Structures are given as C-alpha cells and as structure tokens.
C-alpha cells in the first residue's frame, strides 16, 4: 500500500467516524440524567459496525439471486411492473432500484434491530423507557460510521478532496440522520410501551420496525434519481422528523 493510499484511507476513516461520534455526543445528552454505562454505549457502537458488515454480505447475496426467483409469486407482479416502468422512465437500473428501495432498507433495519437486541437490549442496563432509543441510535451511528467510510474511500483514493468533503457533508446531514431516525423510531415504539406485556411489546416493536423500513425506503426512493428538488425535500423531511423525535424524547423522559 502506498503512502498516498494509506493517507486516503485514513482520511476516509476519520471522515466517516468523527462526525458520527459528534452526533453520538449530541444524542447522549438526551439521557444525561441517568446516562448509560460507557461500556454499553461502546458495545452498541461496535454492534452497529457488525451490523453494516452483515448487511453488506446479505445485500451482496441478494443481488446475486435472480429477480424472478425472489418475486416468484404473482402477487408481486403489479409492484414489479410499476418499479420497472419507473426505472425505465428515470434511466435507472431496475435491479439497483429494487436493491436501494426494497432490499437494503429491509435488510439493514432488521439487522440493526437484531444486533441491538443481542448486544444491548437484553441487558439489565436497559432499564428505562429512554434506554432503547439511546441504544438504537448508538447502533445506527456505528452502522453509519463504517458505511460513510466506505463511501469516502473512493474520492480520497482518487485524491479528490473537494468531492470527499462534499460527500462527507451530505452523508452527515443525510444518510447518517436517516439511520438515526429510522433506528430511533424503533426505540420510541419500544420505549413508549416499555412496561407493557411481552406480547404487546412484540407487536409494537414490529410496528416500529416496519415504520423504520418504510422511512428508509421512502428516503432512498426520493434521492435515487439525484434530482435536486427531490433530494432537498427528503432532507427537509428528515430534519422535521429529527425535531419530532427530540420532542417525543422529552415526553418519554416524563
């Protein structure tokens, strides 16, 4: 590995990780009255890293399977026809459109939650309604840190520093926040039903997971064609949802 490529990868890692740590500090302040143990926060962040690696492997596997095999039921035919028509109209690759708007949101949100459940949500430290939200957000930031690093490697390796900075900024206010709000949505569904029966908690968690997948899918759908108006509208909606989440967190604390 040359010195230039080593420095490029180092900048990509710093650009991917440091902004997510800044977001992490911001969200941890929401639980400053009874903060979670640092080791649990570190474990959740590590869980996010594991989640992104598992997601990449599964997405690669799904991408190698024939679409007709994946959607063998006639029930999906109208959906596939509409998606294919949209892809042709927008000059998009049909399979890539399906991956970004359907498979990736489902895979990533499910894996983030499963890893969160295994790593932290079963812990005795998860003992307050706000805790699932904090842990889910931390998982999301660990996920975003590595995902952002992957996106930054190419421009920095090509010595395109300006593009690297622009990519980092867009990831900071776009994709990173998307992962935060989608995972926080699951955490809020769990938190507001924290003291309910296991059956009720299961169904509310499932509702939160489906809501997170829907948010993720819609965001990806609106930005995939790279139209400025659609992208900025999606970003505006994300910031509105962030404000709503902050308000709901205040209610959850009470």
- Residue 137 within any structural domain of the chain: yes
Alpha-carbon span 66 to 130, nearest angstrom = 42
Whether residue 214 lies inside any domain: the answer is yes
Instruction: From first to last of the 254 residues of the chain, give the pLDDT tens digit.
Output: 444 577 778 878 888 899 899 999 999 998 888 889 999 999 999 999 999 999 999 999 998 888 777 777 778 888 888 888 888 887 888 888 888 899 999 999 999 999 999 999 999 888 899 999 999 999 999 999 999 888 887 776 666 555 545 554 566 567 889 999 999 999 999 999 999 888 999 999 999 999 999 999 998 888 876 555 666 777 888 889 999 999 999 999 87
109 found inside a domain: yes
In a domain, 85, yes or no: no
CA–CA distance, 79 with 62 (Å, rounded to integer): 18
Q: Which residue has the tokens 């935060």?
A: 180
The parent domain of residue 134 ranges over 3-66+90-253
Answering whether pTM is above 0.85, one says yes
The number of distinct structural domains making up the chain is: 1
Measured from the Cβ of residue 21, the count of other Cβ atoms closer than 10 Å reads: 12
**Other CB atoms within 10 A of residue 51 CB:** 29
Look at residue 241 and tell me if it is in a domain. yes
Question: Is residue 11 included in any domain, yes or no?
Answer: yes
Residue 207 exposure: Cα atoms within 13 Å on the Cβ side: 12
Q: How many CA atoms lie within 13 A of 237 on its CB side?
A: 16
Q: Which residue is it, tokens 């359907």?
A: 102
* Phi, psi dihedrals of residue 2, rounded to the nearest 5°: -75, 165
Domain annotation covers residue 71: no
For residue 80, the model assigns a pLDDT of 82
Residue 81 lies in a domain: no
């Amino acid at each position: 590995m040359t010195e230039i490529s080593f420095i490029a990868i180092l900048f990509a890692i710093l650009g991917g990780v440091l902004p997510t740590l800044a977001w992490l500090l911001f969200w941890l302040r929401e639980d400053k009255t009874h903060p979670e143990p640092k080791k649990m926060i570190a474990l959740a962040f590590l869980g996010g890293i594991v989640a992104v690696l598992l997601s990449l492997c599964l997405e690669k596997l799904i991408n190698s399977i024939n679409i007709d095999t994946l959607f063998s039921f006639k029930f999906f035919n109208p959906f596939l026809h509409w998606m294919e028509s949209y892809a042709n109209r927008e000059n998009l690759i049909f399979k890539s459109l399906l991956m970004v708007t359907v498979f990736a949101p489902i895979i990533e949100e499910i894996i983030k939650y499963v890893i969160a459940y295994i790593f932290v949500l079963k812990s005795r430290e998860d003992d307050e309604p706000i805790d699932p939200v904090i842990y889910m957000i931390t998982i999301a930031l660990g996920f975003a840190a590595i995902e952002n690093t992957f996106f930054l490697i190419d421009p920095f390796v090509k010595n395109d520093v300006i593009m690297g900075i622009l990519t980092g900024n867009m990831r900071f206010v776009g994709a990173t926040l998307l992962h935060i709000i989608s995972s926080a949505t699951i955490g809020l569904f769990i938190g507001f039903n924290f003291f309910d029966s296991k059956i009720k908690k299961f169904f509310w968690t499932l509702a939160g997971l489906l809501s997170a997948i829907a948010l993720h899918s819609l965001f990806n759908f609106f930005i995939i064609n790279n139209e400025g108006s659609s992208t900025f509208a999606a970003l505006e909606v994300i910031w509105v949802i962030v404000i709503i989440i902050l308000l709901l967190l205040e209610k959850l604390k009470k």
